Amino acid sequence: MSARVLITGGQGFIGRAVAAHWLDQDPQAHVVALGRSPRRDDAFPHTVHWGEQPVPAPVPGATRRALDPGRYRYERVDLNDQPGLVRLIQAWQPTVVIHVAGALRDAGLSDLVTTNILGTATLIEAVAASGWRPETVVLGSSGGVYGAAGRLPVSETDGCLPLDQYSATKLAAEQVACIGAARHGMRVVRGRIFNVVGAGQDERHVTSWLAMQAAAIDAGVRPPVLRHGPLTTTRDFIPVEEVARALVLLALRGEAGAVYNVASGRETRIEEIRELVLAETGLRDRVEFHLTPGRPADIPRQVASIERLRELGFEPTLEMPEAIRSLVRYYRDEVASAASKNGKPAEPRPPSRQVSVSVRYDYPIEIRAGLLEQLPERLDAQFRGARVFILTDTRVRDLLGAGLAERIRRGGREVGLHAVPAGETSKSLERFGEVVEAMHRFGFDRRAVLVNLGGGLVSDLGGYVAASYLRGVAYVNVPTTLLAQHDAAIGGKVAVNMPWGKNFVGAFNHPRAVWVDPAVLQSLETVDLSSGVAEAIKVALCGSARLFRLLESRVDDILERRSPAVLEEVVRLAIDTKLAILEPDPYEANLRRSLNLGHTFGHPLETELAYRDLRHGEAVGFGIAVATSIARYRGVCDEETAERIYAVLHSYGLPPRVPRHHLQSACHRLETVHLVRGGALHFVLPAALGQVEITDDVSCADIQEAIERLARHPVLKDCVSET
């Protein structure tokens, strides 16, 4: 009997690819595609974009041509319309059903439940009620059902712990299908599809999103800013043609009741995809990057074992560069041409009497070993012809600043260099005035650019000068300490200290670019490295268990060996995490508050010690220990978490030794500062690795008790000294 195939989600991206592939490889086959959207041969039901213009996603020419009307038909039947499904199955008597209809990841919960779970259950019940038995029902599921796998590659025998509602509903769909199949004696084969790549895919998927932006930037219909999520994330990408081939194999040879990973078995970093897209469009040096946060519950690494699929004869053949090339071509050719046909002149806007101003901050953050050497070219590219003024501290001037100034000067530009004495005491109004004067003497005008080369002292001081000089001038950060690379240089908070309060005078002022060269970290003193780790522990506790584990497991690589690769990984992960926290909240509000973990006590401690003797990160390390002790005492975190935090702090020589009387005075300062600021005192407590709780009922007495508990703690007790 020749194959009669019924495909749900038949007008969708995977549905059409499966139909095209089946018809192509089996000249006798017939396909009925069903779906709820109106029939449309030239476009998918969703839209893609050309520049900012939404365009119904064109069906790629090759797919369109394969859907021969003599053997392919579309029926508009909703998956939840059981009588309609029963009629169709009775009339068509499919030998195979391939069920790939589904709501997309970001759909609302009710759509996810209705389409993914109820739709699947209804389909199985409709097959049962029709009295007709297809030989096989292939259920298209998702690789997301595994969640963040404990080991990689993830195999079909591993447990499932979905991290989001989409994946949870896909797993539930698998379960209802299996229950129905067992009850009605049906052969169901499950295919867990990983990250699909291909022309026409929804732009919520990273490959289409990057290809669309790059093609449009290249064509001049989008500003030259490429937005993307964390680059270190990995995925198992599989071209849609391969998915189609795998699903057809499952229909023909899959074992009833079994699960198969539909993937390529290759792990690819998002960064590699970005590189391929840049190479394809030649945009590498013509585009800025803007990091957007990953999904709140994201899987950091993913790759699947495809042994089972291989046993059926599957072998991935398409290469990623080829897949990305055809994706970019799709945008350049098919989407661009569909957009020009659809294009309508923009409606004239009605006159408005209200003025509204919206401000966005987009700036590239580039992380690359050796970047410092390329700074003159970077400045040329972004600030052509502008005079350059480098602010640094005395130590960094001798190590890096003088050489950088010389290289810029050799390129024919005027450059000024000013160094404040190294150390936190330079983060003061006196030095602020001194820098303003030096810039004025240099002839710094509105077109000039300030380069903050140094640690957090320099980026905080310089950022604040840039906010005030001539009411605001351009600046870039070139952070040279670990702390500044992943923290101080990013986020736009700039300030100087006052004798009574840390960061008491300041502003929000974002740089035009942050250029991070992890290679410069080799010359840091150990205490400065530990200090940077303290802030990395903080950000890990706020949002990245992965970063925490990295810091826990690579102490020697970071502190002793200073492995460039590991340090770079720390910087990248910490930046990704900080941005994910800041992005929805660029000004101080709720999410950002979590980044105050360790600071509520750390800041008054620094003030108490007159900004001498203790590095900022060391004070933060102390604050994290205090917050952990309070969290453990209140049952906010469990013992294991608290001990892991203490242990990781200890392994980096944190918290430092501080006399008890200074710790006690810092508590009282906290109350005073707090009274000056007004409002509730927000205290951030670690709840689990990557999760914090914010409370406003921590008193000076609570902190003092926590300090006493630390003084008795077997690992940390030395941090409280008598003198």
- Which residue matches tokens 């000067």? 409
Q: Which is nearer to ligand NAD, 12 or 621 (CB)?
A: 621
User: Taking CB under 6 A as the rule, does residue 528 contact ligand NAD?
Assistant: yes
Q: Cα(108)–Cα(350) distance, rounded to whole angstroms? A: 34
* Maximum distance among all Cα pairs of the chain, rounded to whole angstroms: 91
Among 170, 510, 615, 650, binds ligand NAD (CB under 6 A): 615
Binding of residue 496 to ligand NAD (CB under 6 A): no
* CA 626 – CA 538 distance, rounded (Å): 13
CA pair distance 613, 621, nearest whole angstrom: 14
Helix or strand holding residue 57 (H, E): strand 53-58
**Three-state SS for 17?**
helix
**Closest approach of ligand NAD to the CB of residue 603, in Å:** 8
Residue pointed to by tokens 């289409």: 208
From candidates 174, 487, 568, 618, binder to ligand NAD by CB under 6 A: 487
- Could you tell me the CA-to-CA distances from 5 to 189, 191, 201, 316, 417 in Å, in that order? 15, 17, 23, 24, 73
Q: Which amino acid is at 313?
A: G
Angle (CA) 307-310-311 rounded to 5° is 90
CA 194 to CA 302: how far, in whole Å?
9
Question: Which residue in 488, 571, 605, 654 binds ligand NAD (CB under 6 A)?
Answer: 488
Judged by beta carbon, residue 480 or residue 544, the one nearer ligand NAD is 480
Residue with smaller CB distance to ligand NAD, 235 or 616: 616
* Rounded Cα distance, 651 and 638, in Å: 20
644-to-26, 104, 622 alpha-carbon distances in Å = 59, 38, 15
Does residue 517 bind ligand NAD (CB under 6 A)?
no
Which segment (28-36, 194-202, 284-292, 395-403) binds ligand NAD by CB under 6 A? 395-403
Q: Which one of 393, 568, 608, 702 is in contact with ligand NAD (CB under 6 A)?
A: 393
Which of 640, 641, 647, 639 is closest to 621 using CA atoms? Answer: 647
96 DSSP 8-state letter: E
Q: What is the per-residue burial (b if ≥16 Cβ within 10 Å, else e) of 531-552?
A: bbbbbbbbbbbbbbebbbebbb
| Least Cβ distance, residue 410 to ligand NAD (angstroms) | 22
- What is the C-alpha to C-alpha distance for residues 322 and 316, in angstroms, rounded to an integer? 13
Rule CB under 6 A: which of 67-96 touch ligand NAD? none
- CA dist 606 and 282 (Å) reads 49
* Phi, psi of 306, rounded to the nearest 5 degrees: -120, 25
Give least dist CB 390 to ligand NAD, A. Answer: 14
**Of 704, 689, 706, 691, which Cα lies nearest the Cα of 634?**
706
Q: Which stretch binds ligand NAD (CB under 6 A): 233-241, 248-256, 388-396, 434-442?
A: 388-396
Residues contacting 184, CB < 8 A, separation 6+: 124, 127, 128
What CA–CA distance (Å, rounded) separates 158 from 11?
Answer: 32
Asked if 493 touches ligand NAD (CB under 6 A), the answer is yes
Q: Which residues of 452-466 are buried (b: 16+ CB within 10 A; e: fewer)?
A: bbbbbbbbbbbbbbb
Q: Which residue is nearest to ligand NAD (CB)?
A: 456
524 binds ligand NAD (CB under 6 A): yes
Q: How far is the CB of 230 from ligand NAD (least distance, A)?
A: 20
Name residues contacting ligand NAD, limited to 437-466 (CB under 6 A). 454-458, 460
At its nearest, how many Å lie between ligand NAD and the CB of residue 395? Answer: 3
Piece of the chain touching ligand NAD by CB under 6 A; list 98-106, 171-179, 520-528, 678-686:
520-528
Report the residue number, 81 or 434, with the smaller CB distance to ligand NAD. 434
Rounded CA gap, 461 and 464, in Å? Answer: 5
What one-letter code names the amino acid at 526? Answer: T
Any contact of residue 617 with ligand NAD (CB under 6 A)? yes
- C-beta closer to ligand NAD: residue 215 or 405: 405
Whose Cβ is closer to ligand NAD: residue 54's or residue 433's? Answer: 433
User: What letter represents residue 453's amino acid?
Assistant: L
Among 48-56, 96-104, 105-113, 611-619, the segment contacting ligand NAD (CB under 6 A): 611-619
When asked if residue 32 is in the footprint of ligand NAD (CB under 6 A), the reply is no
Subset of 241-280 contacting ligand NAD (CB under 6 A): none
* Chain length of the chain: 723
570 contributes a contact to ligand NAD by CB under 6 A = no
427 contacts ligand NAD (rule: CB under 6 A)? yes
CA 504-505-507 angle, 5° bins: 120
Q: Which is nearer to ligand NAD, 342 or 523 (CB)?
A: 523
Does position 520 interact with ligand NAD (CB under 6 A)? The reply is yes
**Residue 571 CB, nearest approach to ligand NAD (Å):** 13
Beta carbons of 140 and 98 less than 8 angstroms apart = yes
When the beta carbons of 458 and 692 are compared against ligand NAD, the nearer one is: 458
What is the closest distance, in whole angstroms, from the C-beta atom of residue 517 to ligand NAD in the complex? Answer: 9
Piece of 205-213, 376-384, 478-486, 583-591 that binds ligand NAD (CB under 6 A) = 478-486
304 forms part of the interface with ligand NAD (CB under 6 A): no
Rounded distance between C-alpha atoms, residue 521 and residue 530, angstroms: 12
Residue 431 touching ligand NAD (CB under 6 A):
no
Among 218, 236, 334, 424, binds ligand NAD (CB under 6 A): 424
Give min distance, CB of 460 to ligand NAD, in A.
5
Nearer to ligand NAD, 121 or 420 (CB): 420
Of the candidate residues 149, 181, 320, 396, the single one contacting ligand NAD (CB under 6 A): 396
> Which run of H or of E encompasses 263?
none
Minimum distance, C-beta of residue 658 to ligand NAD, in the bound complex (Å): 17
Interface with ligand NAD (CB under 6 A), residue total 31
Interacting span for ligand NAD (CB under 6 A) from 182-190, 413-421, 487-495, 539-547: 487-495
- Of 306-314, 357-365, 476-484, 686-694, which part binds ligand NAD (CB under 6 A)? 476-484
Are 303 and 191 within 8 A, CB to CB? Answer: no
- Return the residue of 53, 480, 509, 544 that touches ligand NAD, per CB under 6 A: 480
- CA-nearest of 395, 498, 530, 519 to 453 is 395
Closest approach, Cβ 486 to ligand NAD, in A, equals 9
Task: State CA 83 to chain mean position distance.
Answer: 44
Q: Mention every residue, 6+ apart, whose C-beta is less than 8 A from residue 116.
A: 102, 103, 166, 169, 170, 172, 173
**Which residues are near ligand NAD by CB under 6 A?**
393, 395-396, 399, 422-424, 427, 454-458, 460, 480-481, 483-484, 487-488, 491, 493, 520, 523-524, 528, 531, 535, 615-617
